[in-house]
């Protein structure tokens, strides 16, 4: 292929489905390596309010996963845990701690369920987790809720995360474009992964968990967070008042204090 002057045109490379970037270096020796996983239609920037507040001993790596933004074409053809494993493999040494948000928590739990022994992280932080402990927790109203409210969920997510002042009409127009790019396959992969949560073998998850939810969360209900806390052996669950689906944004100081205290305890424990 050539450009209009006859010179060879530059090759346009497809966007890689997964990237992992060091977003905040640690100070001091033997840092705690932390991998940050975002949710559906989100991105690594969702963690920006936490980066400046994170404990200085933590080395923070943020993944851009294929369900980011409008999504990377074809990501639904692979199980979500495979994409998490790709992100983990991109780090220089496996992470000591995994921190996941929203749909990222489903992906992380699916990955943990398939991970064994030394491959597992020392600790996990689940933020606004989507989790049900039993298949009976899902009924037709569950499908109706997430399908009929998907557009509104996208709008609320933009409202919570965006630093720009957008009109409601503009925000809705963007949400429609994102929804259409995600498409039925993306939504089905989201809900199918959520439906799998009762089958995660929580008895195998022996690492400690910090679980943070929002009392006003209309996407991942507080009951999901408490249900997961009851399903594993070692979990500390915190439901933050007056907080919605993005506690790292709506309650940044409280969120950072909880995570920092938790990771300080983990850094003191032997690897």
Residue 169 covered by a domain: yes
pLDDT value at residue 167: 82
Q: How many domains does the chain have?
A: 1
Closest CA to 232 of 263, 260, 211: 211
* Encoded tokens for 150: 């998907």
Residue 12 covered by a domain: no
User: pLDDT tens across 90-141, in order?
Assistant: 998 899 999 999 999 999 999 999 986 567 899 999 999 999 999 999 999 9
* Encoded tokens for 213: 């939810």
Q: How far is Cα 196 from Cα 187, in angstroms, rounded to an integer?
A: 14
pLDDT value at residue 2: 34
Q: How far is Cα 238 from Cα 219, in angstroms, rounded to an integer?
A: 17
Q: How far is Cα 163 from Cα 7, in angstroms, rounded to an integer?
A: 42
* Encoded tokens for 201: 């073998």
Cβ(33)–Cβ(121) under 8 Å? no
User: pLDDT tens across 202-221, in order?
Assistant: 999 999 999 999 999 999 99
Look at the chain and count its residues.
Answer: 271
Mean pLDDT score across all residues of the chain: 89
Tell the residue number behind the tokens 């966007």, with chain if given.
15
Residue 10 has pLDDT above 70, yes or no: no
Residue 68 pairs in a beta bridge with none
Residue 60 covered by a domain: yes
Predicted structure pTM score: 0.91
Bridge-based pairing of strands 19-24 and 58-64 is antiparallel
Residue 5 covered by a domain: no
Cβ(123)–Cβ(259) under 8 Å? no
Q: How far is Cα 23 from Cα 18, in angstroms, rounded to an integer?
A: 15
Helices 80-89 & 103-113, crossing angle to 10 degrees? 80
Give the mean model confidence (pLDDT) for residues 147-164.
81
Residue 32: domain span: 19-268
Bridge-based pairing of strands 32-37 and 235-240 is unpaired
Residue 6 covered by a domain: no
Residue 168 covered by a domain: yes
CATH number, domain with residue 107:
3.40.50.1820
Closest CA to 207 of 125, 123, 146, 148: 123
Q: What is the DSSP letter of 4?
A: T
User: pLDDT tens across 58-87, in order?
Assistant: 999 999 999 998 788 899 999 999 999 999
Residue 45 covered by a domain: yes
Torsional sign, CA 84, 85, 88, 92: negative
Cβ(196)–Cβ(222) under 8 Å? no
Give the mean model confidence (pLDDT) for residues 155-177.
80
Q: How far is Cα 182 from Cα 202, in angstroms, rounded to an integer?
A: 30
* Least trusted range by pLDDT, from 60-74, 165-179, 194-208: 165-179
């Amino acid at each position: 292929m050539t450009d209009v002057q006859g010179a060879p045109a530059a090759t346009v490379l497809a966007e890689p489905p997964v990237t992992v970037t060091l977003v905040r270096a640690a100070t001091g020796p033997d840092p705690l390596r932390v991998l940050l996983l975002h949710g559906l239609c989100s991105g690594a920037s969702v963690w920006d309010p936490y980066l400046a507040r994170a404990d200085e001993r933590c080395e923070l790596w943020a993944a851009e996963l294929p369900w980011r933004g409008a999504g990377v074409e074809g990501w639904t053809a692979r199980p979500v845990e495979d994409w998490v494993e790709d992100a983990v493999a991109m780090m220089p040494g496996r992470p000591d701690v995994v921190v996941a948000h929203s749909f990222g928590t489903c992906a992380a739990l699916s990955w943990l369920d398939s991970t064994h022994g030394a491959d597992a992280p020392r600790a996990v932080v689940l933020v606004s987790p989507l989790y049900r402990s039993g298949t009976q927790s899902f009924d037709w109203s569950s499908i109706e809720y997430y399908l009929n409210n998907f557009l509104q969920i996208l709008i609320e997510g933009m409202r919570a995360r965006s630093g720009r002042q957008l009109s409601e009409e503009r925000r809705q127009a963007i949400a429609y474009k994102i929804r259409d790019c995600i498409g039925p396959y993306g939504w089905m992969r989201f809900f199918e992964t959520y439906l799998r949560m009762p089958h995660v073998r929580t008895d195998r998850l022996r690492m400690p968990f910090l679980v943070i939810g929002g009392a006003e969360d209309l996407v991942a209900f507080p009951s999901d967070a408490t249900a997961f806390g009851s399903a594993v052996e070692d979990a500390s669950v915190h439901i933050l008042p007056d907080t919605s689906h993005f506690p790292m944004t709506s309650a940044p100081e409280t969120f950072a204090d909880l995570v920092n205290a938790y990771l300080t305890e983990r850094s003191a424990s032997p690897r």
